[in-house]
Each structure stands twice: as C-alpha cells, then as structure tokens.
Structure 1
C-alpha cells in the first residue's frame, strides 16, 4: 500500500525534526502504520506518523515468504496488522566460502587442548548463518530504514536476526510494550514548546545552525573547537532572569552561560547529523572537522573506490556506499557518518572524480 504525501502546510520544517526524540530512534510501529505513513515533501525517505518524522523502524513478526539472492535475503514479515518486505543484506561472513584445502590439518591444536582460532571462527560463522537463514513460520526481528521501491513500502535492514521464542515470552513482552509506546509517544502529536518570550525554542537553534554554517563557509574552516564558535551564538542567548507568569518574580532556571553551552551542543549535534562536521578522533580535545574541507578524507574515499572498483566483485556495479563507509571507518576514522560520506561522494561526483552507477553504487574509471 502506498500512502499519499503529506500536505506541505501540515509538515513541520525539516530543521525542527531533530527536536522530536522519535526521529532519532527506531520507532516500534505496527506494520499497518508503516505501510500507511505519509512521505515527506521536503526530504524523500522520511515519513510522518501523526506529525512525528520517522525514517527508521523496529519490527517483530513472522516470516510469511522468503527469497534469496547472492547479496541479500528478502523476507516478508507479518506482525498481525500487515505484511512488509524486508531486504536483509548478507554479511561478508555469510558470503565467504571455506576452502577445503585451508582447513586440512587445523584441528590438531584443538585435539591437544589448545585454542584453534580457525575452528572458533567457523563456529561463529555457523552461528551467524543459523540466525540469518530463516524459514517460513519463524520469528524475525528487523531494524532498518523505511524505503519506497517500485511503489511498494519496504524496510532495508541494518540489523536482523531469528528470534528463538519457544514460550512466546518475547512476543508477549512486545505486545505489552508497543501499545504503551503508542499511548505515551506516537499518538501524541509532535508540538514545539514555547519559551517565555513567545518564540519557539527552535528559532534560536535554527539561527545558531545557520550562523555556524556561514562561519564555516565564509572562513573556509577545515576544523575548529567549540570555544572558537561559542561567542558567535552569544547574541541568541538572553541574559535576563526568567520570571513566572503569575507574579513576575524570578524563578530558578539555567544561567546565560548554561543556555549558551546547551545551544552550542545542540547546534553541533545537528551539524553532525547532517554530515557537515564530524569528529575524527573522540578525545578530551574536542575538535570538529568540516567534511567538505577535509582533503585527507576526500583522498581516502577516492583511493578506496579506485582500488576496490578493480576487484571482480565490484567491477560491474561499483562499490556500495555501505562498503565504502565500512572501509573508510577501518582505514581513516571510525566516526565518519553516512551523512558525511554522502556529502563527500556528492562532491566527488560533481567534479567527475567518481561515477554513480545506481542509487548507492559508485565506481571510478
């Protein structure tokens, strides 16, 4: 079922979505509601349930159909309210095939009571295969992004596994928890809280985000620390004491300094979510790198695509963005987000350094 898009007048501005705690969580929605959610006009791939912006979900249900391909499984998941297709990518362990010649003579250490890493790895691979190969009628839990493909709503799984639930304890706990989430969160419309001045708290956050973006663009900054930009946000913080509406007497509240630090923290969080900045190394010295100005990251991404595009596995379609992201995190920094990588790939594609062969595949000639 394909739901219609939301009326732009009813859709909250995308700058405010991060204020809704549901936006950053895997929403445990019924499949019926996932199929009926309206898609955002501003950002395709983000959907709305009762004005809550949602792009990733968490479902538990029974497998009612399955298809297997070389790189992924397609499971039809039914939670009793509807059926949705879940695309579950295979890990490298699942796609690797053991070489019989390599396993010969490797059980001698285990026979002598020693630790055999090859045998242990084989056990881990077998355990993972058992959790990822599901049959019709088995219980599966899937977490991932909501997508629309060929006019059909589906979930692209980031995590999935078979749930062993012989006495239905997991299903009962799920059925008790989800209705509470609906009552306490999902069925309550997302509303912005107004501060004492009558302006929304987000207006300051939106202004602060634009101020930092302008600072980065105008100064061509490659990296900075929070105290380098803190003073830029000072005009947005009121130094007047908060008063109660009844008697206009001062009431306890955060100081101007505390408000400034909190505003800066939330602003940097938004910029990280958008991929504009990231922290190469998380340490006490809080340094933020500007993604578009990080030449070392750009070179690292180009090298990965250049090298791996020559491999037979990626020769036809190119490297998938998740493969590139994994390689970047291994070779360059664990803290590079997908949003930051997408900005780099967009820049490389604009300069004709890389070519996108499909929505999420990139190659280089």
Structure 2
C-alpha cells in the first residue's frame, strides 16, 4: 500500500496537535480507515483522519493469519472492513521457556502446601494461552501505527485474546465505535479557533455556555431573543476603542450593537448544534429548545413506531434521513439534522427506540 501525504496547506501545524483530544487517545477506528489514513509530512508516523492527528489506535477483530518468530507474533486482524498486520512482541514470561522453577527449588512444606514454582508455571501458561492465538480467534490490539515496506501495520503495546462466546464484546464494540465516529472522528477539530484564543471567540464560548446553562436550569421550552439578551450583558465591554498610536477614541460598534451581534452569533451556534430550532421562521423569533420540546419528541417517536411496521423498514429499521424528511413534513420544515440527532439520542436513552445499525432506528 502506498502511503499518502497531506497537502501542506491543509495539514495543521504540529505544535497545535495536542489541542485535539484524539491525538492523546487510542483511536477506535475501522481498519479500512487505518489503512487509508494520510501520513503527516511534518512528523512521519503521525497520520490524519478527517484532520484528526492520530498515531495510536485500538482495534478488535478476528485473526485471519499468524506467523511466529523468536521475539514476536505477527497476526493479521480482520474487523470486517479490512485486514491489518499487527506486530505483537513476546514478553519475558513468554520467552523464558525453562522458567525460574528449574533453577530454584521450593519445598511445599515451607509454604504450607503452596508451591510458588508451580503457581508461577500456571501463570506463565495462562499468559501464553492469551498471547498465542489461532486463526478464527478474537484479538484486541492497542498500539502505534507504522508504515513498513509500504504496508500499514500496528506495533502493539498491549494485546490479548478476547473470550467472547456469546459475542457480547463484539456487539458492544459495534455499538460504541459508530457513536465515536458520529460524535468525534467525523467532526473536524478547529485548531485555529482553539489556538488563537481571541477575546471574540472566548466571549462567544462563554455566552453560549451561559445560554445553555440558563435553558437547562430553568427547563425553558421556548423563548424569544430578547428574553435572554440581558444574560450576555456582563460580557460586553463598555470601554471606548483607542488607536495604538495616539491613544485616542476611534469609532466602533456601541455596546448595544455588540450585544445584539453576540446574541445573533450565539443563537446561530445553538441552531447549528441542534440545541434550539425555530419551528416557524417569522418576524416573531420564537426559538424552541430541542431537549424540552415534547411535541417534537412525540412526533419522532410516532414516525419510527409507525414506519417500523412497514415491510420496507421492518428488518433494518428507519434510516435517519427518512425520519428527518418525515419530521419536516409533519412537524416543522426547520428541524435540522443536529436537532434530530439530539432527539434520537434522548429517545434511545429512555428506551423508546433502539438503533439497529448505524443511522437506523426501530421502536420496541
């Protein structure tokens, strides 16, 4: 496999990578995405998935081939999307075949019937059993991503066989990984905003959190912009702007204009995140709070319950885009995908619906 490199203009500066929480975590990516990640041109060994810098991963899959050497195992791991080569080093317990019990003799009587050498041998055998896997067994690997001889592979720091007779571990994995993709990996991280830390961005972040806290604490179902405008007043600076050269006041937006602009940006951000939406767009700006809008929740639940009975959706469930289209027809044209995702998450948390696969839902 030929390793791809990012366009220098698209790759964020390496000094900012630590701002992305994915960089310091073992990313649970599909193997196909690991194989296709683009390599950094600044630091070889670091790769990018959707602008997220990644150098260590966590995979779970079936062993499809194995090779054993004196110092390591080489396992081919398949998670259903692709196969990656995993280099798993043997530990000292694995390599010491003779074991310390050969050179040191213990008396059972001296330890009240407990034989340390025999117990150590059992421990080593159990360890070897979990490290030496056969084809068809389930393996979990954590380690760094490397490219060797133009082939992508994982240098394991931790690996072990997963005993999963009823597929509980695999089912849990298949439910958690798509959620990580939706909430983290498929969303680009804004390095520029976090790096600059400008007062404008800081004020916007504070203002957004203030409105969110107010809506949550007061259990607000709907509001108008002037209902929350005064909450942001402490964030507006009333000091006159000055030029750096002469330190004289210069023309700039008034405090009232700054307040209105900040509120406009906050409300737009809340709509982008799906926290609020406008059921009807008119001059009377009424914003509905997604988490508190019972009518919206009932509409979504009824759509999934009714359409899940149809032959077309009975097996796999209703796709999220179908639900979104139906909600816009029955409830409001202005319901966004982000708002629907919040409602679906709440309904699933309350066991009103269940996700049958990624982006598909059915009712109990």
TM-score, normalised on structure 1? Answer: 0.53
1:74 is aligned to 74
Is 1:10 the counterpart of 2:23 in the alignment? no
| CA deviations over 1:74-133 (Å, ceiling 9, x no partner) | 0000000000000000001100022698378646348x7433322222121111101000
Deviation at 1:30, TM superposition (A): 0.2
Tell me the SS of whatever aligns to 1:23: helix
- Aligned partner of 2:182 in structure 1 is 183
Equivalent residues in 2 for 1:1-365, closer than 5 Å: 1-98=1-98, 102=102, 106=106, 108-109=108-109, 113-192=112-191, 193=193, 195-197=197-199, 243=236, 245-246=258-259
Superposition deviation, residue 177 in structure 1: 0.2
**Pair member with larger Rg:** 2
Contact 1:76 1:84 in 2 (8 A): yes
State the Cα distance separating 1:184 from its structure 2 match.
0.2
Judged with a 3 Å threshold, the aligned counterparts in structure 2 of structure 1 residues 100 and 11 are, in CA distance, closer, same or farther, namely closer
Distance across 1 between alignment mates of 2:57 and 2:154: 8
The gaps in structure 1 that reach 5 residues or longer are 202-240, 250-365
3-state SS of 2:9 partner: helix
Contact conserved, 2:17 with 2:53, CA < 8 A, in 1?
yes
Supply the distance in 1 between the matched residues of 2:125 and 2:99 (Cα, whole angstroms).
Answer: 15
Residue 259 of structure 2: SS of its match in structure 1?
coil
Q: Quick one: distance in 2 between partners of 1:197 and 1:104?
A: 69
Q: In the superposition, relative to structure 1, how do residues 109 and 77 fare at CA in structure 2: closer, same or farther (>3 Å)?
A: farther
Alpha-carbon distance between aligned partners in 1 of 2:93 and 2:55, rounded to the nearest angstrom: 28
Q: What displacement does 1:3 show?
A: 3.7
**Aligned-pair CA distance for 1:29:** 0.1
Distance 1:37 1:22 in 2: 14
Q: Secondary structure at the match of 2:23?
A: coil
Cα offsets for 1:281-327 (capped at 9, x unmatched): xxxxxxxxxxxxxxxxxxxxxxxxxxxxxxxxxxxxxxxxxxxxxxx
CA contact (8 A) 1:140 1:160 kept: yes
How many Å apart are 1:45 and its aligned residue?
0.1
For residue 53 of structure 2, give the secondary structure of its aligned residue in structure 1.
Answer: strand
Residues 92/200 of structure 1: CA separation in 2 closer, same or farther (3 Å cut) = farther
| Cα displacement (A) at 1:197 | 3.0
Secondary structure (helix, strand or coil) at the match of 1:137 reads coil
Structure-2 change in CA distance of 1:145 and 1:100 (3 Å): closer
Any conservation in 1 of the 2:99–2:121 contact (CA below 8 Å)? no
Answer whether contact 1:196 1:242 (CA < 8 A) is retained. Answer: no
Aligned 8 A contact 2:101 2:118 in 1: no
Instruction: Give the secondary structure class of the aligned counterpart of 1:158.
Output: strand
**Structure 2 residue ranges without an equivalent (≥5):** 204-233, 238-257, 263-364
Q: Deviations over 1:221-257 (max 9, x none)?
A: xxxxxxxxxxxxxxxxxxxx954751799xxxxxxxx
Taking a change above 3 Å as real, the CA distance of residues 105 and 74 of structure 1, as seen in their structure-2 partners, is same
**Alpha-carbon distance in structure 1 between the residues aligned to 2:100 and 2:47:** 48
Shift of 1:199: 7.8
Please tell me whether the aligned partners of residues 131 and 161 of structure 2 are also in contact (alpha carbons under 8 angstroms): yes
SS in 2 for 1:22: helix
2: CA distance between counterparts of 1:76 and 1:106? 41
Q: How has the CA–CA distance of structure 1 residues 122 and 134 changed in structure 2, closer, same or farther, with 3 Å as cutoff?
A: same
Question: SS state of the match for residue 143, structure 1?
Answer: strand
How many residues are paired up?
A: 209
Moved over 4 A (4+): 198-201
